[in-house]
Amino acid sequence: MMRTRPLKVALLGCGVVGSEVARIMTTHADDLTARIGAPVELAGVAVRRPDRVREGIDPALVTTDATALVKRGDIDVVVEVIGGIEPARTLITTAFEHGASVVSANKALLAQDGAALHAAAQEHDKDLYYEAAVAGAIPLIRPLRESLAGDKINRVMGIVNGTTNFILDKMDSTGAGYQEALDEATALGYAEADPTADVEGFDAAAKAAILAGIAFHTRVRLDDVYREGMTEVTAADFASAKEMGCTIKLLAICERAEDGGSVTARVHPAMIPLSHPLASVRGAYNAVFVESDAAGQLMFYGPGAGGSPTASAVLGDLVAVCRNRIGGATGPGESAYAALPVSPMGDVVTRYHISLDVADKPGVLAQVATVFAEHGVSIDTVRQQGKDGEASLVVVTHRASDAALTGTVEALRKLDTVRGVASIMRVEGE
C-alpha cells in the first residue's frame, strides 16, 4: 500500500551536484515515489549565496540557515553535498539528533571522522549512506559492505580520481609533459583552478581510507594512508613503462597482509602491465579492481565525478534510506569488528623500477648490484646505456619491502659513481 504522506528531504548545498539532485528529484518524482513507496518532497535547500538563480528550485525553499533546516522535526532525510569538514560534521550530527537520516558525498569528512559519524547514527538509530563519496556513479560502497559481506576481501586497487587519470592518459597517449597535460585538463574542466587535492593524491587518499575501512572491517583514517602525488611523473617514465609493457596510473591500493594480521592503504603512481584491466581505463574514468577469496576478481568501472554521475549515487542512497524509513529499519552501519592494525608504508612489499644516472666506466654495475644485495633487494633485470662519460642504469627489482628499497636508494646516493636517482616507480598489478 502506497504511503500518502511525503518523506521530506533537506538538501545542504546546491552546487553542481546539489542542483542535479534537486533536478532529478523533480523530474523523476513519479518514478521515485513508485520505487520508494511514498512521495519524496524537497523541503528546504541550504546555500551560502541565496540570491543566485537556481532553475527549477522554488526560491521559498532556499535558506542560508542550514542549522535551522536540519533541526526541523519534520525532516526525514538530510542530503549533504557541501563538502569539507565544518560545518558539514556539525550539521550531520545535528541531523541525527533531530531525527533525520543522512546521505552524504563528503569523502574528506568520512575519511577523517567516519567512526564518530557512524557512532552518532547508531546512537540515534538512523542511517548514514555515502555511495557518492567514492568513485561517483560507480556502485562500489554498497557491493563492498553488502554484496560481499559474506566474503573475505584481500585487495582493493583502483583509479579513483578522474583528473589524474585524464592527465596520465594524455601523457601516455600523446607524449605530452605533465604541465601540458594539466593545462588541457584545466581547459576542459577536468581539473580545478587549484588542482592540488587531485594531483597530490589527497582526494584519492580519502577514498582509499573509506574503501579500506569497509573492505577489511577495520577503522582506517586518512592519516593512516600513505600518499604520494603524481606531479613528478615524466615523459621519460612513460617511455620506460612502455619498454616494460606497462603504463602509469595513480592508484589507490588497500590490501590485507599475506598472514591476514594487518592491512595497508596507500596512494601513489605505479607502473601497471598493459594486460591488467586497469591499464585500459582512459580519460577521466574511474575503475576499482577487487580481489576476494570466494568471488575472485571483480572490476567496477564508470564515470567517477561530475554532477549527474555523483547525483545518481546520491539518489540511489536516498531511495534506500527512504525505504528503510518507511519500514522502520536501518541499513548496515560501520563494521569495524576486525580492528586490524594498519601497517606503515615501510612494510609494503612490491616491485620497483629505479632509474639511476651513473658514471660511464667499468665496475659501476657491480657496485650498484652489491648495494642492492647488501640490503636484501633482489634484481630482476638491469639495463645500462652510456655515452661521453655519462650513463643511465635502469634496475627492475623482484618484490621487496619499501623499507629495504629506501635503504638501498640511500646507500646508492653515497656512491661516487652514482650521479643521481632519476626516478623510482613502483610496479603493481602483476
Could you list the active site residues?
Answer: 207
Cβ(417)–Cβ(369) under 8 Å? no
Q: Give the span between the Cα atoms of 137 and 398, in whole angstroms.
A: 37
Task: Locate all alpha helices (DSSP H) within 98-201, ordered by sequence.
Answer: 107-123, 141-142, 162-174, 178-187, 196-199
Amino acid letter for position 42? L
Cβ(146)–Cβ(327) under 8 Å? no
Cβ(288)–Cβ(160) under 8 Å? yes
Task: Locate all alpha helices (DSSP H) within 249-392, ordered by sequence.
Answer: 307-327, 364-374
Q: Give the span between the Cα atoms of 81 and 36, in whole angstroms.
A: 22
- Pick from 128, 87, 126, 132: which is nearest to 106 by CA? 132
For the chain, the helix, strand and coil percentages under 3-state DSSP, each to the nearest 5: 40, 25, 35
Phi, psi of 40 (to 5 degrees): -115, 140
Q: Give the span between the Cα atoms of 34 and 195, in whole angstroms.
A: 41
